[in-house]
Amino acid sequence: MALGTVTRAELGEAVYQEVGLSRNESAELLELVLNEIAGALENGETVKISSFGSFSVRRKGRRIGRNPKTGEEVPILPRRVLVFRPSQVLKAHINEALGRAEGGSATRTG
């Protein structure tokens, strides 16, 4: 398994290669896309990207947590968390590619 990290720079470059915009505009567009998604999530919307996955916001209630270092009890306030559910297509694609890379079979079970 390769362990590289892809960042904004590479994604911006991919956008630049794909569309006839300047590198600067490509980077800006990437930012606009991320910001539009973040804005929808902030409004509590679910964002569904077909063949990739969906992002949704879940509300969590207040609960009592513990500081693992000191053992002290601390309240964890109600908050909203983001949940990503990968699509079947994405999961299958990754398993096929990485299963093959390791020489293992990537047959689906269940």
Partner 1 sequence: MTKSELIARLAEKNPHLYQRDVERIVTTIFEEITSALAHGDRVELRGFGAFSVKRREARVGRNPRTGESVSVEEKYIPFFKTGKQLRERLNG
Q: Which residues bind partner 1 (CB under 8 A)?
A: 1-8, 10-11, 14-15, 18-21, 26, 29-30, 32-34, 36-38, 40-42, 45-53, 55, 57, 79-82, 84, 86, 90-91, 93-99, 101, 104-107, 109-110
What six digits make up the tokens of 58? 């879940």
Paired tokens of 43 = 């409004």
Q: Report whether 27 contacts 12 (CB < 8 A).
A: yes
Beta carbons of 46 and 61 less than 8 angstroms apart: no
Q: Which is nearer to partner 1, 70 or 77 (CB)?
A: 77
Provide the minimum distance between the beta carbon of 68 and partner 1 in the complex, in angstroms, as a whole number. Answer: 19
**Nearer CB in complex with partner 1: 8/66:** 8
Is the CB of 71 or the CB of 102 nearer to partner 1? 102
Nearest approach, Cβ of residue 42 and partner 1 (Å) = 5
Beta-carbon count within 10 A of 12 CB: 19
Distance from C-alpha of 103 to C-alpha of 43, rounded to nearest angstrom: 44
